[in-house]
Structure 1
Amino acid sequence: MPVPVCRPPICATSKAYSSRGNRAHLRRRGIKAVIPEKKDQASNRKKKGSGGGRPVSHDAAHYKERNTVERLINKLKAWRGIAIRYDKTPDSYLAGLHLRASTIWIKDLTRTTD
């Protein structure tokens, strides 16, 4: 059975992935890059003048959502078994992820906001 193709509309990454090659690859695939430009790349582009190209567009609202995902991944990896991947089979690893996600969800539900 063929695996369905799942292409995200947006790719939000850190400045470490802000190279022209990465941006071009995402553009060819029809994925919007939400990657802030490094200061040295911006200064090099500005030094070249009009030959340096346009400034990189950056959607700050989508980039803020990246932080939420990273915090969740850090919470999941608080369990050593998930971070180090002790489980031998994908099914048992997925069960551990589900269990950890459930505990995070229950903890958030029971938290009082007084």
Structure 2
Amino acid sequence: MVCDGRGRPLRLHLTEGQRSDHKGAEALIPHLPHARVLIADKAYASRWMHQSLEQRAITACIPAQRQRRHLPEYDPVTYRQRHRIENMFAKPKDWRRIHTRYDRCADIFLAAITFAAIFIFWINES
């Protein structure tokens, strides 16, 4: 999921539960909106992620994993805004249909998440 600066979802991509986060990020990166900064957790701290963001002139605010030799710079003050992303993931889980994952079909589950996101973040704010 990609969100804007106010914590509203902009792009959704559903992957299998056992699939790496990098596969989802790989699918979303070409469709990123015009952004200046991308805030992500340590799971996305890879060389190819930093390179692809650099090619798009997006500053990566991703802390490095401890085992890496080369630790890329990131702004810890900007990284504190990541709580908006966590809140964005938490709000749709208040909907029983989503947190219990009633829908086994991926298309229907993605539609339920999309509907919840539209209702929670876009209609309620108007």
TM-score greater than 0.5 by the shorter chain:
yes
* Residues 1-114 of structure 1: pairs in structure 2 closer than 5 A: 6-41=33-68, 44-45=69-70, 55-83=71-99, 84=101, 88=108, 94-101=114-121
2:9 alignment counterpart: none
Q: CA deviation at 1:37?
A: 0.8
Higher relative contact order (CA 8 A, sep 6+): 2
Output the CA distance in 1 between the equivalents of 2:37 and 2:85: 14
Provide runs of 4+ in structure 1 moved above 4 Å: 85-88, 90-95
Deviations 1:65-111 (A, max 9, x none): 111221232022221334548595x8876554344448x87xxxxxx
Aligned length: 90
TM-score, length-scaled by structure 2: 0.54
Output the CA distance in 2 between the equivalents of 1:81 and 1:19: 34
Unaligned runs of 5+ in 2: 1-31
Rg: which structure is higher? 1
TM-score, length-scaled by structure 1: 0.59
Which structure carries more helix by proportion?
1
Percent identity, aligned pairs only, is: 24
Output the CA distance in 2 between the equivalents of 1:6 and 1:69: 16
